[in-house]
Structure 1
Amino acid sequence: MSEQLPSGGIELSPDEIEALQARWSSCWTPSEVAQQLAGISTPWYVAAGWALDLFRGRQTRAHGDIEIAIPAASFPEIRYRFPGHVFDATGSGRIWEDVTPEVLAAVHQTWLRDPDTGNYLLDVFREPHDGDTWICRRDERIRLPYSDIILRTQDGIPYLAPELVLLFKAKHVRGKDQSDFDATVPHMTLAQRETLTELLARVHPGHPWSAGL
């Protein structure tokens, strides 16, 4: 993805960014997303906080939105699944409505909007990849087959492996991120904890979470 943002878009003030949260009040659950994407050929997975709840087997906290991730090149397949809806892109405090290919090439985060209500239903991350190999957008040296990073619930909902979810959460460590770390680590296998330790050392050297692993 290009680091230079495209022209246009709407610059959002902090108050406007906060107000957007209300437009996520009717976002889907992981089960509803899985129903929408049933039978799709591209790999996809639930990401972020919801992924950790799927890993632990129950919802442990409220979620303000729901994020999934897909290979960037597969976005058209996702887009065609939602006729009558609109995709907006967001990044660096800006939002581009009814996203164009130019914007898609520059940012990775895309919000599915119901044009009738203005509400957002789903956040789609378009991730870098090399064919069937996932590339970590925080460190492109980290490359793994999709088959290694996607786990599934008993009813088949795909979600990102917890060690990778926590790697992304380690960048900012907001209150909910710390809570997610504390609640998730006891459920992780030794191999998962060792992998997270190695990834933190590479991406965030000296991170305080390493001591808790």
Structure 2
Amino acid sequence: MHSLMSDFKRPWYIAGGWAVDLYLGYVSREHKDIEIVVFREDQTFLKDYLGKWDIDKVEDRELKSWGREFLHLPVHELHASNKKSGDKFEILLNETEGLEWVYRRDLRVKMPLTEAGSFTPSGLPYLSPLIVLLYKSKHIRPKDQQDFLIIYDKLSSKQKNWLSNALVLQDPEHLWLEKLREQ
């Protein structure tokens, strides 16, 4: 992915389970796909950059061809495929407001863009594990619970507080809140 996106001149980050592993510095579990995040305002640059790729948008729970239209919420998920190489990956459009990342499910939840992503020592960008966990928190699958538990001990008190506050807005009885409050 890094070689594919290396000349893309806008922010982008590895997301999902791979972002968790990049944060940890090792592969913690098997991954079936790869997802990246691009900010919504950069989607036209992405479309031009991946000009030879077929890109579909998920709209009304169906894959539909993405033309040249600017995509607005609720559309946030794209699927890119390269018929020549057989490569595929998912692109998640994320929201920003000024110098902040904004959670699309609750626009009150924000994070400074300077904290929304990080880089591995080799320069591979990955999405903050807090943001990854927040997205995973809506419908917790076993792998999401595993990701939460493996990251938990690596989080600072400040990070745990941010995630706890974000989860409370979504679900005051969320499964992860008890552990986050242990601190």
Tell me whether the two structures share a fold, i.e. TM-score over 0.5.
yes
> Which of 36, 41, 55 is the equivalent residue of 2:23?
55
Amino acid at match of 1:63: H
In the alignment, structure 2 segments of 5+ residues that lack a partner are none
Shift of 1:67: 0.9
What secondary structure sits across from 1:107 in the alignment? coil
Shift of 1:101: 4.1
Distance 2:5 2:150 in 1: 29
Higher helix share: 1
> Which of 46, 52, 60 is the equivalent residue of 1:84?
52
Identity %: 30
* 1:137–1:188 distance in 2 versus 1, CA, 3 Å: same
Give the TM-score, by structure 2 length. Answer: 0.88
The answer on 1:170 being equivalent to 2:128 is: no
Amino acid at match of 1:36: L
Matched residues, number:
179
- For residues 98-120 of structure 1, give each alpha carbon's deviation from its aligned partner in whole angstroms, at most 9, with x where no partner exists: x1245833511111111346x45
Please tell me whether the aligned partners of residues 43 and 71 of structure 1 are also in contact (alpha carbons under 8 angstroms).
yes
4+ residue runs of structure 1 moved beyond 6 angstroms?
none
Give the TM-score, by structure 1 length. Answer: 0.76
Question: 1:193 corresponds to which residue?
Answer: 160
Shift of 1:57: 0.4
- For residues 132-178 of structure 1, give each alpha carbon's deviation from its aligned partner in whole angstroms, at most 9, with x where no partner exists: 43211111112233212111111111111112211111100111111
Q: What is the correspondence of 1:51-200 to structure 2 with a 5 Å cutoff? A: 51-97=19-65, 99-102=66-69, 104-105=71-72, 107-116=75-84, 119=86, 121-200=88-167
What secondary structure sits across from 1:187 in the alignment? coil
Distance 1:91 1:181 in 2: 29
In the alignment, structure 1 segments of 5+ residues that lack a partner are 1-32
- For residues 56-80 of structure 1, give each alpha carbon's deviation from its aligned partner in whole angstroms, at most 9, with x where no partner exists: 1011111111111111120122222
Amino acid at match of 2:23: F
Amino acid at match of 1:199: A
Quote the RMSD (CA, aligned, Å): 1.9
Distance 2:45 2:107 in 1: 24
Question: 1:13 corresponds to which residue?
Answer: none
Amino acid at match of 1:177: D
* 1:149–1:165 distance in 2 versus 1, CA, 3 Å: same
Distance 1:132 1:194 in 2: 21
Shift of 1:81: 2.2
Distance 1:182 1:81 in 2: 37
